[in-house]
A and B are shown apart, each in its own frame.
Chain A
Amino acid sequence: MDELLEQFLIEAPELVQRASDDLIALERDPGDAARIDSAFRAVHTLKGSVALFDFAPMGMALHAAEELLGVVRTKKLSPDNSVITALLDCVSACGAWVESIANSGILPPDAHAQSQRISRALLNHLRADGEASEAASTNMEWVTSLLALESDALVEIRHEKRMVTAVRYVPDHGCFFQGIDPIAPIRAVPHLMALRVEGRTPWSTEGFDPYVCNLVIDLLSAAPVDDVRRIFASTGGQTTVVEIAPGTLPTVSKVARADPRRDATSRMLRVDSERVDALVDILGELIVAKNGLAHLATQAAAVDTRLARALTINQATIDRLVVDMHRALMNLRMVPLARTFRRLPPLVRDIASRLGKRVDLDVMGDDVEADKAVVDGLFEPLLHVLRNAVDHGIEGAAARESGGKLPTGRVTLSASREGDQIAIAVADDGPGIDPAKIRQAAKASGIRSPGVIDGLDDKTTLDLVFAPGLSTASSVTDVSGRGVGMDAVRTAIESLGGRVAINSVLKQGTTVRFTLPQAVVITTVMVVAVGEDEFGVPIDSVVETARVPADRITPIRSGAAFVMRDRTIPLVQLSSLLGLADSQRASSDIKVLVVAVGDQRIGIEVGDFAQRIDVLLRPMTGFLAAMPGILGTALLGDGRVLMILDLPELIG
């Protein structure tokens, strides 16, 4: 791909993002001059980048947005809701266009029509503003191209941060007969900076009529707009005069652009994430080789203890280095949560406005970092939870006021580090979830038997919102309640190695909390034997290991259970979970892995416990990916492949 375009595709989404952030912040605090400036700069820079390519509709829309922001910036227009909406429409369209450019290299076919609609909406605000009405009445493409064309002449002005006046003068065809010389006023323009004269229709030397004026005259002047306007006063509707705020002048070239942020980011290196992934793969192989060394040391011990000791010391060093390297590599993949968090506010705003609700979204802790896979994977589930919060969590303004709350609902999205985990919470200040309603819905959808449901405490009842098939939405709105429930959220989070929890206080609000691993870690597994076979079980799914005397096992109908610390724990055999032949119990003690499934403890009988090892878990791919109960595989030091079991899923 063209290097310039590649750079554009990296920068453009960031600029779109920044503009979008700023606009949403502005909606809350319309007087925030820093945000106005920032949005203006983002749009301006984006427009400048777009001008390097053949994406005219995008340039046109951005130009209109820039015009409008320019007026907002000079405080001639207050960024009210409709102004922000028009600007956000433009910015989000640009986001979509950039995506299209990234995918196909071109703008979507409807871009032109869309751009015109967007530009018109933006310029309508300018027209209402009066001051810039002339700018609104016409396509502004000529200004953009004029500014771009004559950049060199404008260098001085750019540094002086002065206003520039642009003029388009299209004299009547018959003006020559009226004794008008269109060049005469041009001569009178003070501080002329650029002049372009073109034919209204392409010039043709065939049958040229010297008495028909075919001129279109565009110029830039550094003089105040009123002075320039006075010169063209007699030309009336043939002239468009546009005032251009400082800072909107196009840059001469991409390279020469003075961007202060460059200095701060020049130490940064953008690396394709695939290259990092390739390193991670190599590290995986290295871990296997390292484990092989341990195996070798054990073998050597039988032959030469001194050699074995030397090998072991060496292996310990390599061990440490691999761990360091793993940490360093995982740091490379660390990205701030902002990457996902920033995409959410515009969407929440959109959801709220579609539902006719007023909701403020507070975002905190978006500088917390996590593995790229985790951060990217959070988008869908977070959006779902936020959608629920706005739709079901926040009441309408009237209901809120009668409940003594502010009419604008508040949803907080926050993140924090908790050891090597990150915690993400979405909290709303809505009415909370009534456990009685959940019980009712659970019974109605038949996900548990009524007896079971009635026996649940409130906390466990709330957890039922994560159960498949439960929908509490009393009405199917446009936004949610279409049956894609919180179970999808739980599945998504658990596939990232995380957990979900919900907490709700009536009249005060609901909080959904995700706990996720910060990094894709080397998994420590416990190797367990069933007969001749060995399997790995992630150590974090094992609560404890126990040896239970066979006579303490109580048969219960077809199953069995035992009592441990005053708690009855059901016992299942791993061999039967896996559909393997039952193996003979070697001793009177039964070896049990106690695992937690939800709030329940379950004992799993295994043939034997073997060592704990660190492995890089490889997820199953292709046909095997659909196999239930298997997390993935790991390559062992001696070349064997160990299946890593997903015990909670196996138990079902």
Chain B
Amino acid sequence: MTVTTDGAIITLQGNCGIDDAETLLGFLQAQPAPMVDLTNATHLHGAVLQLLLAFRPPLSGQATDMFTRTWLIPLVRGT
């Protein structure tokens, strides 16, 4: 499990694959305004990325992985 939530914040960790997509979707739909922490995410699968693009949750933390930080997070933030 690399997708967890404490209620208000959904945390993605490590290599987030296709298996995490459905869990993430459940979390995103369960909460009114969830925040997503990508600090320790090393890769986002296309399925995960498109979920984030669709829901555009506010992001907390800056990813340690360079590719995620440089290219994927700006996409989700829409900057």
| Chain A residues within CB distance 8 Å of chain B | 171, 175-176, 179-183, 186-187, 192, 195-199, 203-205, 208, 210-211, 213-215
Contact status of A205 and B55, CB under 8 A, knowing A176-B18, A187-B43, A210-B22? yes
A208 to B22, CA, bound (A): 10
Given A197-B50, A208-B54, A215-B46, list of 10 further CB < 8 A pairs?
A176-B18, A181-B47, A186-B71, A195-B75, A210-B24, A210-B50, A210-B51, A211-B21, A214-B50, A215-B49
**A residues near B21, Cβ cutoff 8 Å:** 176, 210-211
Residues in chain B within 8 A of chain A (CB atoms): 17-18, 21-22, 24-25, 28-29, 43-47, 49-51, 53-55, 67, 71-72, 75
Q: How far is the CA of A208 from the CA of B28 in the complex (A)?
A: 11
Which residues of A lie under 8 Å from residue B44 when comparing CB positions? 183
What is the minimal beta-carbon distance from A235 to any residue of chain B, in angstroms? 12
CB-based contact B47/A210 at 8 Å = yes
Task: List chain A residues, Cβ under 8 A from B49.
Answer: 183, 197, 215
Question: A437 → chain B, closest Cβ, in Å?
Answer: 76
User: Does the CB pair B51–A181 fall under 8 Å?
Assistant: no
Q: With contacts A181-B18, A197-B75, A199-B54 known, is A187 near B46, CB below 8 A? A: no
Of all chain A residues, the one with the shortest Cβ separation from B21 is: A210
Query: Closest A-chain residue to B20, C-beta based?
Result: A210
- A215 → B minimal CB distance (Å): 6
A183→B51 contact, CB < 8 A: no
Chain A residues in 8 Å Cβ range of B51: 208, 210
Residue of A nearest to B75 (CB): A197
Across the two chains, which residue of chain A brings its CB closest to B51? A210
The answer to whether A208 touches B25 (Cβ under 8 A) is yes
Contacting residues, chain B, for A211 (C-beta < 8 A): 18, 21-22, 47
The interface residues of chain B lying within 8 Å CB-to-CB of A171 are: 46
Question: B43 to chain A: which residues have CB within 8 Å?
Answer: 183, 187
In contact, A203 and B54 (Cβ under 8 angstroms): yes
Contact between chains at B53 and A203 (CB < 8 Å): yes
A175 to B54 Cα, complex, angstroms? 18
Q: Which chain B residues lie closer than 8 Å to A204 at the CB level? A: 54
Question: In the complex, what residue of chain B is closest to A202 when comparing beta carbons?
Answer: B54
Bound: A204/B50 CA distance, A:
11
Which one of A176, A196, A198 lies within 8 Å of B46 (CB-CB)?
A176
Cβ contact of A205, chosen from B22, B54, B67, B71, cutoff 8 A: B54
From the candidates B22, B46, B54, name the one contacting A213 in the complex (CB within 8 A).
Answer: B46
Q: How far is the CA of A171 from the CA of B47 in the complex (A)?
A: 11
- Cβ–Cβ < 8 Å partners of B24 in chain A: 210
**B25, A210: Cβ atoms closer than 8 Å:** yes
Q: Which A residues are CB-close (under 8 A) to B45? A: 181, 183
Residues of B within 8 A of A203 (CB): 50, 53-54
Q: Is the CB of B22 within 8 A of A187?
A: no
19 pairs, A vs B, C-beta closer than 8 Å: A171-B46, A176-B21, A180-B46, A181-B17, A195-B71, A197-B50, A197-B75, A199-B53, A203-B50, A204-B54, A205-B29, A205-B54, A208-B51, A210-B24, A210-B47, A210-B51, A211-B21, A213-B46, A213-B50
Q: Separation in Å of the B41 CB from the closest CB of chain A?
A: 12
- Among residues of A, the one whose C-beta sits closest to the C-beta of B28 is A205
Most chain B CB neighbours (cut-off 10 Å) among A179, A187, A196, A211: A187
How far is B45's CA from A197's CA once the two chains are assembled, in angstroms? 13
Residues of B within 8 A of A205 (CB): 28-29, 54-55
Q: How far is the CA of A647 from the CA of B72 in the complex (A)?
A: 83
How close is B19's CB to chain A, nearest CB, in angstroms?
10
| Bound CA–CA A620/B9 (angstroms) | 84
Q: Which residues of B contact A192 (CB under 8 A)?
A: 71
Roughly how many angstroms separate A183 CA and B44 CA in the complex, as a whole number? Answer: 7
Shortest distance from the beta carbon of A168 to any chain B beta carbon, whole Å: 15
- Nearest B-chain residue to A200, judged by Cβ: B50
Complex Cα–Cα for A186 and B71 (A): 10
CB-based nearest A residue for B45: A181
B17 contacts which chain A residues (CB < 8 A)?
A: 181
Q: How far is the CB of A483 from chain B (nearest CB, A)?
A: 65
Cα A115 to Cα B3 in complex, Å, equals: 49
A631 to B49, CA, bound (A): 79
Name the 7 nearest CB pairs between A and B, nearest first.
Answer: A203-B54, A182-B46, A210-B21, A195-B71, A183-B46, A181-B45, A210-B25
- Asked whether A213 lies within 8 Å of B47 as measured between CB atoms, the reply is yes
B35 to chain A, nearest CB (A): 16
For B72, give the chain A residue with the smallest CB separation: A183
Chain A nearest Cβ from B78, distance in angstroms: 11
Most buried by B among A179, A195, A198: A195
CA distance A334 to B57 in the complex (A): 64
- Shortest Cβ gap from A189 to chain B (Å): 10
Q: Name the residue of chain A whose CB is nearest to the CB of B23.
A: A210
Give Cα A197–Cα B49 distance, bound, in whole angstroms: 9
A195 to B46, CA, bound (A): 14
Cα distance, A601 to B28, chains bound together (Å): 100
* A187-B66 Cα distance, complex, nearest whole Å: 10
Measured between alpha carbons, how far is A185 from B40 in the docked complex, in Å? Answer: 21
- Cβ B53 vs Cβ A197 within 8 A: yes
Chain B residues near A197 (CB-CB < 8 A): 49-50, 53, 75
- CB-CB nearest in chain B for A197: B75
Report the separation of the CA atoms of residues A196 and B78 in the bound assembly, to the nearest whole angstrom: 10
Nearest B residue to A179 via CB reads B18
Question: What's the Cα separation between A215 and B48 when bound, in Å?
Answer: 11
Residues on the B chain within 8 Å of A213, using CB: 46-47, 50
Q: How far is the CB of B49 from chain A (nearest CB, A)?
A: 6
Q: Which residue of A lies closest to B49 (CB)?
A: A183
A199 and B25 alpha carbons, distance in the complex (Å): 17
A179 proximity list for chain B (CB < 8 A): 18
Q: Looking at the assembled complex, report how far the CB atom of A403 sits from the nearest CB atom of chain B, in whole angstroms.
A: 70
* Chain B residues near A183 (CB-CB < 8 A): 43-46, 49, 72
The residue in chain A whose Cβ has the minimal distance to the Cβ of B54 is A203
CB neighbours of B25 from chain A (8 A): 208, 210
Closest A residue to B18 by beta carbon equals: A176
Instruction: State A316–B43 Cα separation when bound (angstroms).
Output: 90
Most buried by A among B21, B28, B29, B46: B46
Chain A hits for B28, CB < 8 A: 205
